[in-house]
Every structure is written in structure tokens, then in C-alpha cells.
Amino acid sequence: MARKSVAGGCLFFGAVLLYIGYGKTQSFMGGLSKTFSGGYSTETISYFIAGGILFLAGLFMLIGKKKR
């Protein structure tokens, strides 16, 4: 029971962080940053990395084998 709750939380917050990161890439400042520096800001990349790790952790918790 607790494992599914933690997995659901990881999936939810991972998806939220990925959404925030995507929103930052589509913003005016994100486009401006990419134009002048050739890449996205460290903050934006951090959102993508943290969101991806949380989302994958939640996914693996949901589909992984249970230890008994």
C-alpha cells in the first residue's frame, strides 16, 4: 500500500517537474537564453533531470517485483 503511494507521488511530482521544465523552454527568456548561449539554462536542465529521475523511479516502483 505504501509502496504504491510513494510510486504515485514520484510519478506525479516527476511529471510536474518535467512540465515546468518544458514550460521554461517555451518561455521568452528560455528562447532568448538558447539563442545567445546555444543551450538552455542550468535551472531548466535541472528540472528535466530531476523530473525524469523521479518519474522513472515511480514507474519502476509500480511495475517492479514486490519483495516478500
If you write DSSP's letter for every residue of 15-38 in order, what string do you get? HHHHHHHHHHHHSHHHHHHHHHHS
CA 55 distance to own-chain centroid:
6
pLDDT (tens digit per residue) in 11-47: 999 999 999 999 988 888 877 877 888 888 889 999 9
Distance CA 63, CA 8 (A): 12
All 3 cell numbers of residue 20? 515546468
Query: What's the pLDDT at 9?
Result: 95
Which helix (H) or strand (E) is 65 found in, with range? Answer: none
Query: What's the pLDDT at 67?
Result: 65
